[in-house]
Amino acid sequence: MLDLGRQYQPLHQELLEALDQVLETRQFVLGEPVAAFERAAAAQLGVAQAVGCSSGTDALWLALAAAGIGPGMSVLTTPFSFFASVSAILRAGATPVLADIDPVTFNLAPAAAQIVLDSERGPGVRAILPVHLYGQCADWDSFARLAHERGLKLIEDAAQAWGAEWNGVQAGGLGDAAAFSFYPTKNLSAAGDAGMVATNSGDLAERARMLRQHGMRRRYHHDEAGWNTRMDGFQGAILGVKLRYIAGWNEARRAVARRYDALFRAAGVAEAGPYPVHGVVLPREVAGARHVWHQYVIRAARRDALREFLTARGVGSEVYYPVPLHRQQALSGLGYAAGTFPEAERAAREVLALPIFPELREDEQQTVVGAIAEFLQ
């Protein structure tokens, strides 16, 4: 699925020098390595402020809490995402409210969100948390309109979307705040856990900085009960190096996605969709979006059998995500039954992520597509 060694080798010396600088200055937690990354990251995203933290999960919580989301409030989000999208809402003391997804992008569907906002669960909603799943932005025009009409905050879960755009605006600068993850598998990755909040609000950024250090604005003076969620200097240094290369890496991912499309169509197994019948439905970049292809996710009717077939031939794959959030045991208290979100549940049965990373070779992609075509014969 991913060969980080191919990314690491050309950067070997540059990364070692950055890490050595942290050792020399002994700025192991926050400090200038993190501050320098924050400044460069904000400039690259085109936002006013960036606040580094210890993980993408913490970034989600910080973004919500800094935006004033807390007990007695609800946040509308998707049932088809990583667990943190909902657990961060719970950690902020709010209640997750879910709406179904679009079958093409797998992102939260604005029409479904509007139906939920008009339902009995709607009055308590104070924010919408769309996820830019797999590296493609949610339909931000529609969500911005909904938020404006109803006076709601908009928080981006941009964990998978560094460099993605909606109508020319980068993820991170679309909402009131955004959360990024730099988990090692992400397009822009640390050498461990790290995350970041992006915002154009100075007040929100200042509160996020306070909350990431036990609620301190001044040392040992605690204004609120915050958390210890600081980014360490080593991760800041590594991310500062990789930030200089991410635009090129994302372009390489886009090229890999285009090759997959061409290979699948040449093999005669691509179907129009959105639902698969005999072949596979390919992912696509929708109007207004610039996809950065964190994942290349197909749909297949016999997904599990296909995955077993690929594994037997040494081809990596993964399912993001096999269980929708409303069917997770830990979230049974939300009160959603099976069948509540049919698009999310069907996607969970059909999606399959194929190998994609900037250095993936065309011959390797031919092997992947050839194996899938063989299975579908």
| Chain segment 139-185, per-residue pLDDT in tens | 999 999 999 999 999 999 999 999 999 999 999 999 999 999 999 99
pLDDT digits over 190-216, tens only?
999 999 999 999 999 999 999 999 989
Dig out the tokens for 193 from the structure: 């856990």
Residue pair 279/376 in contact (Cβ under 8 Å)? The answer is yes
How far is the C-alpha of 277 from the C-alpha of 171, rounded, in Å? 34
Residue entry with tokens 């935006």: 67
Find the length of the chain: 377
pLDDT at site 165? 98
pLDDT digits over 272-329, tens only?
989 999 999 999 999 999 999 999 999 999 999 999 999 999 999 999 999 999 999 9
pLDDT at site 168? 97
- Is 4-245 CATH 3.40.640.10? yes
How far is the C-alpha of 25 from the C-alpha of 29, rounded, in Å? 11
How far is the C-alpha of 42 from the C-alpha of 37, rounded, in Å? 8
How far is the C-alpha of 23 from the C-alpha of 16, rounded, in Å? 10
Residue pair 142/167 in contact (Cβ under 8 Å)? The answer is no
Model confidence at 346: pLDDT above 90: yes
Alpha-carbon distance values, 222 to 52, 127, 140, 198, 218 (Å): 20, 27, 37, 23, 8
How far is the C-alpha of 52 from the C-alpha of 137, rounded, in Å? 22
Q: Which long-range contacts (CB under 8 A, 24 or more apart) does 1-5 make?
A: 1/316, 1/317, 1/318, 1/353, 1/355, 2/185, 2/316, 2/355, 2/357, 3/357, 3/359, 4/184, 4/189
How far is the C-alpha of 65 from the C-alpha of 71, rounded, in Å? 10
pLDDT at site 273? 84
Find the helix packing angle between 4-25 and 31-45, rounded to 10°: 130
Identity of the amino acid at 32: E
Residue pair 319/297 in contact (Cβ under 8 Å)? The answer is no
Residue pair 75/89 in contact (Cβ under 8 Å)? The answer is yes
Options 1.20.1200.10, 3.40.30.10, 3.90.1150.10, 3.40.50.720; CATH for 247-376 is 3.90.1150.10
Model confidence at 72: pLDDT above 90: yes
pLDDT digits over 53-67, tens only?
999 999 999 999 999
How far is the C-alpha of 220 from the C-alpha of 237, rounded, in Å? 27
- Could you tell me the residue ranges of all domains in the chain? 4-245, 247-376
Residue pair 89/95 in contact (Cβ under 8 Å)? The answer is yes
Dig out the tokens for 221 from the structure: 């003076």
How many angstroms from the chain centroid is the CA of residue 350? Answer: 20
pLDDT digits over 93-127, tens only?
999 999 999 999 999 999 999 999 999 999 999 99
pLDDT digits over 258-269, tens only?
999 999 999 999
Identity of the amino acid at 117: L
- Coil, strand or helix at 266: helix
pLDDT at site 338? 95
pTM of the model: 0.96
Dig out the tokens for 238 from the structure: 């590594």
Cis peptide bond upstream of 274, omega within 30: yes
**Residue among 279, 337, 284, 270 nearest 98 (CA):** 337
Domain 4-245 and domain 247-376, same fold? Reply is no
pLDDT at site 361? 97
How far is the C-alpha of 37 from the C-alpha of 67, rounded, in Å? 23
How far is the C-alpha of 69 from the C-alpha of 100, rounded, in Å? 22
pLDDT at site 341? 98
Dig out the tokens for 280 from the structure: 């596979």
Beta bridge partners of 272: none
